[in-house]
Amino acid sequence: MNLESTPTDRRCSPSIILVGVGVVGKAILRAHTDAGLSVCLVDQDLKALVAATDSLSLDLDQWDVSEAMTHPCGLPSVSLIHRPQISSQNPVPLLIESIPERLDLKRSFFSEVQNRLDPNTILCSNTSTLRIGDLADGLQRPQQFCGMHFFMPVESRDAVELIQGKQTDSKSLARAIAHIQDLKKTPLVVRDGPGFIVNRLLSPYLNEALMLLCQGVEAKDLEDAAIEYGMPISPLELIDTIGARTMFDAGRVYWQAFPNRIAPSPLLAGLVKSKRMGKHTGAGLFDYDDAGNRSEGLATECLALVDRYRRDDNLELSHADLVDRLSIPMWIEAAHAVADGTVTDVTQFDLAMQGGLGYRRDRSWLSFFDELGSKRMIAAIDRWSERTKAIQIQPDLRSALTKGSPSSAIAGT
């Protein structure tokens, strides 16, 4: 491929620009091609760019793949053009950034490209942990900037978290919403804040699973409890799917924002230090083969890490106890999100849990807690609140739970 080659006719140039072909970037790319959407793929690594394009196995009767060229943002690019979509009228350009989750890198990237692109371009970050306001700091047109957070595995998650910064204008938001809908996914529009919605619910859940593992609970018992709760896979496998580094960063953001609600498990940092980064590397809490199938039990190296961080609490936990310990922290965090105004409509929780995390669809998420019942939840809170910060609640929430159902206690009705 030749970086100096002439680009395709501008009328056919994709209006969607995707920057970054890492694990998540490639999944986002596939979501675009599966939806028949033309896309300009950009990455600093030409070999990675070509490999990502080749991995798609596109039908060349339907797709034109350009030669590599230098994109206006200064990096190598390849355009993937879906012939049935070709039109002389392109919508407002939209850029999705999916580069490493570091504030300095993302800020530097956006600062550089804002002067190289069409000034109407909507800039979107696929951040899962960084505040949109922090990323927008220094941009010339912060009103055209928002977050567009895809969930892994992208092909199985039909929600995309759309984070509206304080300065994001309605036109930019509408363009981003339309694009998510073009991907045949559902936009989950949220306010900027630590963890947004999904990671805010997820962080105490996954941390609790790691704490329980280090307290002697078997991985299979955690998986069984999670499945009964309604989650699609073990919380430990979910950590591997997300990636230890990403989960560590998300957990740190949550802990820094809400230090009284979580005591971070050292096991996650241990995984990062041991370079057991997750499914995409073949080694996380479980081992994975080349097809992505996990080992039946925890990896031997992981078991050694668990032993290193083991706490001898001499706990006797029933299956019901594990269900309570995994689920109730998420309910408590949802109540906080409503109380502080992050969530204004409790129906957003179903989209977050089902569309973002794959929670079962045959019932509402909050209805699970109504089935548990206030009496059982209060008993669990009383039993475990001294052992874990994640199950401590404020007096007003406890009072509401005592007087009504768990769903009404959250909604304030």
Alpha-carbon gap, residue 276 to 236, rounded angstroms: 13
- Please answer whether residues 168 and 145 qualify as being in contact, where contact means their C-beta atoms are separated by less than 8 angstroms: yes
Mean pLDDT calculated for residue range 346-352: 96
Per-residue model confidence (pLDDT) at position 86: 64
Per-residue model confidence (pLDDT) at position 313: 72
Measured at the alpha carbon of residue 99, what is the angle toward residues 294 and 13, in degrees to the nearest 5? 110
Per-residue pLDDT reduced to its tens digit, 39-94: 999 999 999 999 999 999 899 999 999 988 888 888 999 999 998 876 645 678 99
Q: Extract the tokens encoding 212.
A: 């329980």
Per-residue pLDDT reduced to its tens digit, 191-221: 999 999 999 999 999 999 999 999 999 999 9
Give the number of other CB atoms < 10 A from CB of residue 155. Answer: 10
Average pLDDT along the chain: 93
Per-residue model confidence (pLDDT) at position 286: 98
Look-up of token digits 């850029």: 95
Per-residue pLDDT reduced to its tens digit, 395-411: 999 999 999 999 999 98
Distances (CA, A) of 23 to 72, 152, 200, 242: 24, 10, 22, 10
The domain locations on the chain are 10-191, 198-308, 319-411
Tell me: pLDDT of 4 over 50.
no
Alpha-carbon gap, residue 384 to 376, rounded angstroms: 12
Confidence of residue 142 (pLDDT cuts 50, 70, 90): very high
Per-residue pLDDT reduced to its tens digit, 97-129: 999 999 999 999 999 999 999 999 999 999 999
CA torsion sign for 381, 387, 388, 392 is positive
Tell me: pLDDT of 20 over 60.
yes
99: burial class by Cβ within 10 Å (0-12, 13-18, 19+)? buried
Question: Is 198-308's fold the same as 319-411's?
Answer: yes
Per-residue model confidence (pLDDT) at position 411: 87
Alpha-carbon gap, residue 193 to 145, rounded angstroms: 15
Name the β-bridge partners of 124. 96, 146
Confidence of residue 13 (pLDDT cuts 50, 70, 90): confident
Per-residue model confidence (pLDDT) at position 413: 55
Q: How many CA atoms lie within 13 A of 321 on its CB side?
A: 11
Confidence of residue 3 (pLDDT cuts 50, 70, 90): very low
Q: Indicate the residue type of 32.
A: H
Mean pLDDT calculated for residue range 366-392: 97
The secondary structure of the chain, three-state, reads: CCCECCCCCHHHCCCEEEECCCHHHHHHHHHHHHCCCCEEEECCCHHHHHHHHHCCCCCCCCEEECCCEECCCCCEEEEEEEHHHCCCCCCCCEEEECCCCCHHHHHHHHHHHCCCCCCCCEEEECCCCCCHHHHHCCCCCHHHEEEEEECCCHHHCCEEEEEECCCCCHHHHHHHHHHHHHCCCEEEEEECCCCCCHHHHHHHHHHHHHHHHHCCCCHHHHHHHHHHHCCCCCHHHHHHHHCHHHHHHHHHHHHHHCHHHCCCCHHHHHHHHCCCCEHHHCECCCEECCCCCECCCCCHHHHHHHHHCCCCCCCCCCHHHHHHHHHHHHHHHHHHHHHCCCCCCCCHHHHHHHHHHCCCCCCCHHHHHHHHCHHHHHHHHHHHCCCCHHHCCCHHHHHHHHHCCHHHHHHCC
- Phi and psi torsions of 59, nearest 5°: -75, 110
Distances (CA, A) of 31 to 39, 120, 150, 180, 387: 11, 24, 10, 10, 42
Tell me: pLDDT of 182 over 70.
yes
With a pLDDT cut of 90, the percent of the chain lying above it is: 88
Tell me: pLDDT of 355 over 80.
yes
- Answer whether the bond into residue 153 is a cis peptide, omega within 30°: yes
| Architecture label for domain 319-411 | Orthogonal Bundle (1.10)
Give the number of other CB atoms < 10 A from CB of residue 131. Answer: 20
Fold designation for 198-308: N-(1-d-carboxylethyl)-l-norvaline Dehydrogenase; domain 2 (1.10.1040)
With a pLDDT cut of 70, the percent of the chain lying above it is: 95
Per-residue pLDDT reduced to its tens digit, 262-303: 999 999 999 999 999 999 999 999 999 999 999 999 999 999
- Bridge pairing between strands 76-82 and 39-42: antiparallel
- Say what the pTM is: 0.91
Fold designation for 10-191: Rossmann fold (3.40.50)
- Phi and psi torsions of 337, nearest 5°: -65, -35
Per-residue model confidence (pLDDT) at position 410: 93
The phi-psi region of residue 45 (left if phi > 0; otherwise alpha if psi is between -120 and 50; otherwise beta) is: beta
Look-up of token digits 């595995």: 153
Tell me: pLDDT of 10 over 50.
no
Per-residue model confidence (pLDDT) at position 12: 54
